[in-house]
A = this chain, B = another copy of it.
Amino acid sequence: MKQLLQISVQEATLRINKIQSLMAEQRIDAILISDNANKFYTSGRVFNGYTYIPAKGQEIYFVRRPVDLTGNNLEYIHKPENIIEILQKNNITEPSTLGIELDLAPYSMVQRIAKIFSNSTIANASGILRQARSVKSKFEIEQLKTAGIKHTETYSQIKSIYSPNITDLEFQVEIERLSRLGGCLGQFRISGDSMEIYMGNVICGENADAPSPYDFAMGGAGIHPSLPVGCNGTTIKPGMAIMVDVNGNYTGYTTDMSRVFSVGTLDKLSIKAHNCSLRICHELSSMGKPGIEAKLLYNKAIEIVTEEGLDHLFMGHRQKAGFIGHGVGIEINELPVIAPRSRDILEVGNVIALEPKFVIPGVGAVGIENTYVVTDNGMECITHAPEEIISLD
């Protein structure tokens, strides 16, 4: 038998309490969690089933599979209909308002749950979970720092795998291998299922300017129209910028880090834009203190690129991304969002990836991406690879 809970009881309680206090604000009497990322958040493991959180008291883990778990607050079920039977058996009142992750849960599943909880009004619990997860605990920050260290170790080996006339795809495959041998879990979580990326992206040359289906600064055409993003088989040539943005999921928590490599020296514009990205990261990370509005960080970045005359290349050229940074953690797209209309306000414990990037047509993409922890003194960088353009030859 295996322990259900893969985090300490204290850590689980801290997270459940945080969710419960948000539930109280929104007058939700219970939440039934079905999303894998949120199940992992509430238990430290992924299982087939649901986490049930009442307004007060203990959470209950309703598990279908795996069949060999043990632990407190664990109830095995065959189907969701069993949940209500077990609650009744334990004299737990049916909630008058039941929260479900309506932004994630398929319509048919919600209908089924609503039928089971026929005396409950259904409410959207997606926001509560996003908000709870946006402020990381001490333990979660440790997981992210460990990921940052391993992510950096992988990036430090990238130079060793370059050989002349390698394609961006071959280069990416070798980086994937380095990442995996270094402990990267491979799969990383993206909230919602419409964004599909494999491991991350290696993009160079003209391909950086190919629009993708997603809200990315640089997309890349990809190698197949079923997965139209990322490297496209371009041979890496002198004068190209090679942007490496491969995921940092080494601990179930993902850091996000991008670095630029080059063969030979890049042109002046690319170097200028890259240095501008460093400037933005440094200015924003000292500006990013608790209480500041996320959109002010975005505005500051725009102010800097406009001052430097680089706004037409910033965050994409033919297709532009609508943000310069985003929360990371269990998923790659968490709160807060650093975007012009963001209503988020920075808090101690936010973990944010800043990615001020530029697309230089014909050359590639330049700029860096780092992951930062918001502290009382500003944003502490936890992705440590050298920030300058790294020469491959």
Residues of A within 8 A of B (CB): 6, 34, 36, 40, 44-48, 65-68, 100, 102-111, 124, 126, 169-170, 173-174, 176-177, 180-181, 183, 185-187, 189, 192-194, 196-199, 210-215, 219, 223-228, 251-252, 318-319, 330
Complexed CA–CA distance, A330 and B224 (Å): 13
Contact between chains at B319 and A46 (CB < 8 Å): no
Complexed CA–CA distance, A198 and B198 (Å): 9
**Selected contact of A45 from candidates B108, B194, B196, B226, CB within 8 Å:** B226
Closest B residue to A316 by beta carbon equals B67
List, sorted by A's number, 24 A–B pairs whose CB atoms are closer than 8 Å. Answer: A40-B226, A45-B226, A45-B228, A46-B196, A46-B228, A66-B219, A66-B228, A67-B211, A68-B210, A102-B108, A102-B111, A103-B108, A105-B106, A106-B106, A106-B192, A107-B107, A108-B126, A173-B181, A177-B177, A183-B223, A187-B197, A187-B198, A189-B196, A224-B252
Taking CB atoms, residues of chain B closer than 8 Å to A225 are 6, 40, 44-46, 252
Complexed CA–CA distance, A219 and B210 (Å): 39
Contact between chains at B65 and A211 (CB < 8 Å): yes
Taking CB atoms, residues of chain B closer than 8 Å to A212 are 65-66
Contact between chains at A103 and B103 (CB < 8 Å): no
**Selected contact of A47 from candidates B67, B183, B198, B213, CB within 8 Å:** B213
Least CB distance from A233 to B in Å reads 10
Taking CB atoms, residues of chain B closer than 8 Å to A215 are 65
Complexed CA–CA distance, A166 and B223 (Å): 31
Taking CB atoms, residues of chain B closer than 8 Å to A193 are 36, 104, 193
Output the residue of A67, A185, A211, A224 with the most chain B CB within 10 A.
Answer: A224
Contact between chains at B198 and A186 (CB < 8 Å): yes
Known A102-B106, A213-B46; contact A226-B67, beta-carbon cutoff 8 A: no
Closest B residue to A213 by beta carbon equals B48
**Selected contact of A226 from candidates B46, B170, B176, B183, CB within 8 Å:** B46
Least CB distance from A81 to B in Å reads 17
Taking CB atoms, residues of chain B closer than 8 Å to A47 are 213, 228
Closest B residue to A40 by beta carbon equals B226
Taking CB atoms, residues of chain B closer than 8 Å to A104 are 106, 193
Least CB distance from A96 to B in Å reads 19
Contact between chains at A251 and B224 (CB < 8 Å): yes
Closest B residue to A43 by beta carbon equals B225
Q: 10 tightest CB-CB pairs across the interface, nearest first?
A: A226-B252, A66-B211, A186-B198, A45-B225, A187-B198, A193-B193, A6-B225, A102-B107, A48-B213, A173-B180
Closest B residue to A191 by beta carbon equals B193
Taking CB atoms, residues of chain B closer than 8 Å to A176 are 176-177, 180, 186
